[in-house]
Amino acid sequence: MTPPNDWEIKKCLSIVIAILLASLGLIGLAALGYDIPGLRQIVGFIYLTFVPGLLILRILRIHEIGAVKTLLYSVGLSLAFVMFTGLFMNSIFPYIGISKPLSVFPLVATLTAFIAILCSIAYKRDRYSPASTTVERKGGLFSPSLFLILLPLVAIFGTYLINFHENNILLMTLIVIISVVIALAAFGKFFHPGTYALAIVAIAIGILYSRTMISMYVVGQDIHREFYFQGLVLTNGYWDATIPGTLNAMLSIVMLCPIYSIMLNMDSVWIAKVIYPLFFSLIPLALFEVYREQVDSRKAFLAAFFFMSMIVFFTSIATNLRTGIAELFLALLILLMVDRGRTSVQKAALAIIFIMALTVSHYALAYIGIALFILGWLLLVLAKNRIGRGVWGRLGAGFSISGANTGRANPTPQTATPRPTILNGNLVCLFLVFTLAWYMYTASAAPFNAIVGIGHHVYSSLAEFFSPMAREAIVGTAIGLDWASASTLGKAFRVILYLTQLFIIVGLAKLILKPEGLRFKAEYIALAVVSGLGLLVVMVLPYAFFGVTRFYHITLIILSPFCILGGEVIWKGGRRLFKSVSSRSKGKWVRLSPAQNNPAYIKFLVLAVLIPYFLFNTGFVFEITKTETRGEFPASEVLSHYRLDTYDFNQMEAAGAQWLSTVSDDRFKIYADVYGGIVINSQLYGRAKTFPADIEKVPQNSYIYLRTWNIDRQEVVIGVQHQPGILKHVSLEDKPALLDIIDSGNKIYANGGSQVFVPK
């Protein structure tokens, strides 16, 4: 199928105008009271998500990039366009008398005008570009594609069973089906390289939907605070940039979600549950394209699956709007970095847009991106230096700073062919300046102050450098400190985890010391080295600011293919050693060809490491064994939803928090357990206080909020004193003073799923 950026310009613009008119017509019909359910949402989604980006690709004359890259770049450019259009309207319209710029009619008029302008510019710049005659391999609607398309549907029906019947059989089946898909692909059966891109998207949507569709309310932890700020925009019709707080500076929250909600006439809860996961599913797809530029398709597919198998992808990313959007832009930047055939102007234009979009999407990820780019650029500069080349040459051989590594000797400066790169001083400086400027002048500079405070906190904690208690528990697990106390299944999970870490280390060592035969770009090598060192620093430093698990997930964006390559190196080395020992014992010497190893290695890696890693991280093993203790190995807030206390809330709990927001006295604090405080923050940001370690000492003149678990199980979740991040369940029967406060005489609200009390 030929992508639309390669169509004849009149045909392309005709489709764009048709989508625009259809969207306008459906919005007009809705205003007249003739809303067509479903149709406006589908057309509006296509309009916002693909049309602006496609027009920008035509303006930049970017052609012949294939359907997958066209999809990725179009969506990335469209999301950036929507966020910055909202920012433009919010900044300019109040000065011309429009007090609520982020409402339906100003949005429709402005987007229509901007799309018309983009159409005019695209026609003027690209009208002489010939239509593509390239015919891509058609996947068609044959059995593998149809099978893969069913995966998101299985997830949706599976969450329905969980929500209304507490039955997880379909979601358990979904995980088994995904494992079978990966195994068949590894064995070269049924799924061929032409279906890998669809398989990645289908698997990603399936596991993301299985998380986001739980409950009729938003799920997760940070998302409730995000919803408070996007809710302010929807209520007020504009974004108040002066409100302090890091989340209020994120356009991925305060612009993207409200604009989609308004234009699609769709509750923002379902924007978060249905629309955002579609964006997040493009992260592994973009990474697949990155890896495929540098390794073969099967290894790239397995590397993308390994990235998705890490627990953060289908927990924190699925339930954190700003992080997923920022990761998508970071993945697009890396794809642009390794993309062949783009001119320096095209690369620079796309890089500037993606850098700015990343910056306004997530402040922590923007700072991490800056660090990666600055250190990666400095490493490239050092490698180009004569002394740097000499040092690198003594470590290994065959490193070509000008392009791909083919295993040959370094080209001389006279023969090296320069290639456009986005990892250069100009773009790095732009990244730094724009990020600092944005965060110093929005949300009362809260994001900028946050990073300064983090640096001070880390510096002041260096005195505890040698204390194991000053690091996350996961660091101890990663280096084996809790091996003795782990159960048999816990040890099995740790072995698999250690194998993936060993593979990454060996793969990086292979890249640096003996890169013959590898095709990694110089820029990617630099980022890989920096990512590996950064992960080491985060593990070593006490009280890492971003969380070791989340930082590890970020580094896997770059390091995932080295897990596949490192395992291959170990497999080949082990096979050679075995064959040589066996041959010597028989008096013969047999040299094992690398080609003999690869098929068997891929099968071993998938069956013995990747699939078990996926089954553990999804909580499948936890649920199938009916394990009761969380922490031994990953539990699932989805599969074990019916028996675990989690961050997921039902509509009755949300209704109780909403009621409190309308009647509570601002002078009184609102006390709840750790989980209850999260749902309250979605309505009353900053008002919720968690029960103290001694929960009987709740101050007078305070509201007490109980959620469903508190009521049904007579338990509350509180933090463990002097152990940050550690939670425990406490029975209310053991706290008579608190029971006395929440007797029926003090109850002022109840809806069957939540209750509110006021002490006498």
Average pLDDT of the residues in 103-122 = 97
**Is 429 within a domain?**
no
Report the distance separating Cα 659 and Cα 244, nearest Å.
25
Residue type for 745, please?
A: G
**Is 338 within a domain?**
no
Residue 413: how many CB atoms within 10 A of its CB? 9
Q: Tell me the CA distances in angstroms from 309 to 150, 370, 629, one per residue in order.
A: 20, 26, 22
The answer to whether 429 touches 377, Cβ cutoff 8 Å, is no
The last residue of one of the domains, among 64, 92, 126, is: 126
Q: What is the pLDDT of residues 670-707, one digit of tens each?
A: 989 989 998 898 888 888 888 877 766 777 778 899 99
Structural domain count, the chain: 2
Report the distance separating Cα 149 and Cα 143, nearest Å.
10
Say what the pTM is: 0.91
Q: How many CA atoms lie within 13 A of 604 on its CB side?
A: 14
Q: What is the pLDDT of residues 516-543, one digit of tens each?
A: 778 898 899 999 999 999 888 877 765 5
**Is 687 within a domain?**
yes
Q: Is the pLDDT of residue 487 over 80?
A: yes
Cβ-proximal residues to 386 (8 Å cutoff; 6+ apart), any chain? none
Q: What six digits make up the tokens of 440? A: 């110093």
pLDDT for res 483: 76
Q: Alpha helix locations (H) across 586-673? A: 594-604, 611-617, 620-624, 651-663
* DSSP H or E stretch at residue 78: helix 66-92
Look at residues 493, 498, 509, 495 and name the one whose alpha carbon lies nearest to residue 565: 509
Residue type for 601, please?
A: Y
Q: What six digits make up the tokens of 655? A: 């209704």
* DSSP H or E stretch at residue 436: helix 425-440
pLDDT for res 582: 63
- The number of helix segments (H) and strand segments (E) in the chain equals 31, 7
pLDDT for res 470: 46
**Is 325 within a domain?**
no
**Is 538 within a domain?**
no
Report the distance separating Cα 535 and Cα 550, nearest Å.
10
Q: Average per-residue pLDDT in the chain?
A: 85
**Angle CA 326–327–328, to nearest 5:** 90
The last residue of one of the domains, among 126, 145, 160, is: 126
Where is mean pLDDT largest: 131-140, 420-429, 539-548? 420-429
Look at residues 43, 41, 118 and name the one whose alpha carbon lies nearest to residue 81: 118
The last residue of one of the domains, among 67, 102, 126, is: 126
pLDDT for res 696: 64
Backbone φ and ψ for 669, nearest 5 degrees, come out as -80, 160
Structural domain containing residue 716 = 652-757
pLDDT for res 407: 41
pLDDT for res 722: 60
Cβ-proximal residues to 357 (8 Å cutoff; 6+ apart), any chain? 76, 79, 80, 83, 84, 329
Q: What is the pLDDT of residues 608-632, one digit of tens each?
A: 999 999 999 999 999 999 887 766 7
**Is 416 within a domain?**
no
pLDDT for res 684: 85
Q: Are strands 688-690 and 702-706 parallel, antiparallel or unpaired?
A: unpaired
**Among 282-291, 416-425, 638-647, 751-760, whose mean pLDDT is lowest?**
416-425
* DSSP H or E stretch at residue 688: strand 688-690
Report the distance separating Cα 321 and Cα 226, nearest Å.
8
pLDDT for res 544: 53
**Is 61 within a domain?**
yes
**Is 145 within a domain?**
no
